[in-house]
Chain A
Amino acid sequence: MSHKFQYLLRLGDNCLVLSQQLAAWCGHGPALEEDLALTNVALDLLGQARLWLSYAGEVEGRGRDEDALAFGRDGLDFRNLLLVEQPNGHYGNTVARQFLFDAWHRQLLAGLCESSDPRIAEIAQKAVKEVRYHVERSAGLMIALGNGTALSHARMQDAVNMLWPYTNEWFDSDAIDAQCASAGVAPAASSLAAAWRADVETVLGRAGLTTPTYTGHQRGGKLGVHSEHLGRLLTALQFMQRAYPGAQW
């Protein structure tokens, strides 16, 4: 399997898993306006997942399309980061997960806009506009909830603390990252760390929240070693295709 295919799966699976999580909020959000807003983010990420996975299928060259990749792989073959499969929890957990991801996602996409692969650059250019808005939104919510009430402050600090262990995996470089970086396909994984950290510290500072001082230790998602949460998420995601193999919908 080519490194580019693997890399595209990582891009696509992050978006797919996170959009699946956000989609579960639809109809259950804390206010009508917020329900509409979060669903827009879910829709953006789902659209991006489809573009990445479609291209992954083409690069692989075995005739798998976006659906074959989304519904036909077991957890061991998913390449998303552990962060995005962490449970929705309360709305603050979802917001914190989104912010930490958005801040990284924006840096990554900015780098991918310069990709030597024109398809990747093209998809990234479309996605980066959407993600700039995602960061603006999630950073705004972090700041508001961090400062809002004693309860919201405590909830957001807990959420950041709980998710922090998962916020270093994306800066680890393995053979796939290194090959994509040296071919100019993608920015080096570690190159995004400084900008991400600066953004996150600024926003957490404005939110009155403490940035944890340690480096996250949880890793494995990029290689297919996941948490227990992914399996349950895939059970819902893939139910129809598993129950009715080969059917057209």
Chain B
Amino acid sequence: MYAQLVETGAKAVKTLDQMEPQERAFQERINAGIKTEPKDWMPEAYRKTLVRQISQHAHSEYVGMLPEANWITRAPTLKRKAILLAKVQDEAGHALYLYSAVETLGVTRDQTYLDLLSGKAKYSSIFNYPTLTWADIGAIGWLVDGSAIVNQIPLCRCSYGPYARAMVRVCKEESFHQRQGFDIMQALCKGTPEQKAMAQDALNRWWWPSLAMHGPPDELSANSAQSMAWKIKQNSNDELRQRFIDQTAPQIEFLGLALPDADLKWNEARGHYDYGAIDWEEFFNVVNGKGPCNQERLAARNQAWEEGAWFREAMSAYAAKQEQSDMQGAT
């Protein structure tokens, strides 16, 4: 998802009996559905896991602005331009809410952000794919934001209060993102043969990365069980992936596009769509820096940070001077 492969430090999930009294009391509150707030006692591993997960999520929002921003200046109509601009701006807002949630855990935004810039921190694999045509903007809204919503709605019930509250705000804003993406796809599919081909191409390229972005299959995600015990995560990767596929396959048919996977078929017995094998090697490559756009994305974030340094410093310096002259005025 927006936070993939979040390390929890846990080899196996402890039972209540294996816990010290303080940790046990904490786990019992979690089990009872009571939210943890910043000043409450929490196990260090829980805090660290949250920092990793929320900061990855924040980085994903921030990096995620780039592939879509790539098309703002080239949007095909003024209305589409306004919508896309507002949408990409929302991602900045989401990054900001999430960095704020990390700050409640005692790590400042710049500390968190510098880990992204240095390449130490991860962000979602999906944003390392290029946006080659306008249809990619439709596909991202529809498939990537569609996946995000499936993942983020349960996060609104996450056990950590500030994260849950940030996600409520994100989800409220996000609901327009998926619809605007689908709306772009619809316009393309009703358009000329060239436009429809563009839509099909975008679906074909974004489908598999959208499935992979839900994270490795359950049997490969050792950290999932611990995150679920802490109610940081509510559903497994495979569960959310299946939910996304089930809701999206009929939409592909509605658009009149060809299914991007020959194995994508309704399975009456399971009550779900079956789907083909995901290329996990590609996924791990992209996560580990070998995706099509990893270098560009990180370079763009570093460039904005470095070129903005004089601005941020000057703003601080001016405020400090003002404060000083206010104090002198008061004495």
Dominant secondary structure of chain A at its interface with chain B: helix
Chain B residues with Cβ below 8 Å from A67 are 77-78
8 Å CB contacts to B: which residues of A141-157? 143-145, 147-149, 151-152, 155
In the assembled complex, the Cα of A29 lies from the Cα of B65 at a distance in Å of 11
8 Å CB contacts to A: which residues of B159-211? 184, 187-188, 190-192, 194-195
Q: Taking the nearest CB of chain B, how far is it from the CB of A13, in angstroms? A: 12
Interface check A182, CB cutoff 8 A: no
In the assembled complex, the Cα of A155 lies from the Cα of B313 at a distance in Å of 13
Q: Quick check: A31 and B311 within 8 Å, CB to CB?
A: yes
Q: Quick check: B73 and A145 within 8 Å, CB to CB?
A: no
Q: Quick check: B311 and A91 within 8 Å, CB to CB?
A: yes
Interface check B86, CB cutoff 8 A: yes
Interface check A20, CB cutoff 8 A: yes
> Max chain A CB contacts within 10 Å: which of B93, B315, B316?
B315
Interface string of B43-77 (1 = CB under 8 A from A): 00000000000000000001001100100111111
> Max chain A CB contacts within 10 Å: which of B65, B195, B312, B318?
B318
Q: Quick check: B73 and A152 within 8 Å, CB to CB?
A: no
Q: Taking the nearest CB of chain A, how far is it from the CB of B257, in angstroms? A: 17
Chain B residues with Cβ below 8 Å from A53 are 78
Chain B residues with Cβ below 8 Å from A71 are 76-77
Q: Quick check: A46 and B92 within 8 Å, CB to CB?
A: no
Interface check B308, CB cutoff 8 A: yes
Q: Quick check: B74 and A239 within 8 Å, CB to CB?
A: yes
Q: Quick check: A244 and B314 within 8 Å, CB to CB?
A: no
Interface check B310, CB cutoff 8 A: yes
8 Å CB contacts to A: which residues of B300-331? 300, 303-304, 307-319, 321
User: Contact check: which of B95, B192, B309 meets A244 at CB < 8 Å?
Assistant: B192
Q: Quick check: B73 and A24 within 8 Å, CB to CB?
A: yes
In the assembled complex, the Cα of A113 lies from the Cα of B304 at a distance in Å of 39
Q: Taking the nearest CB of chain B, how far is it from the CB of A172, in angstroms? A: 28
Q: Taking the nearest CB of chain B, how far is it from the CB of A134, in angstroms? A: 16
- 28 interchain pairs (CB within 8 A)? A16-B78, A24-B73, A26-B89, A26-B92, A27-B88, A31-B308, A31-B311, A31-B312, A34-B308, A36-B96, A43-B82, A50-B82, A53-B78, A70-B78, A71-B77, A145-B311, A145-B314, A145-B318, A147-B317, A152-B310, A240-B75, A240-B134, A247-B191, A247-B195, A248-B187, A248-B191, A249-B80, A249-B184
If A33-B96, A35-B92 are given as contacts, then 13 extra A-B residue pairs at C-beta distance below 8 Å, sorted by A number, are A28-B69, A28-B300, A29-B304, A32-B96, A32-B99, A39-B89, A47-B82, A50-B79, A50-B82, A144-B319, A145-B314, A148-B317, A248-B191
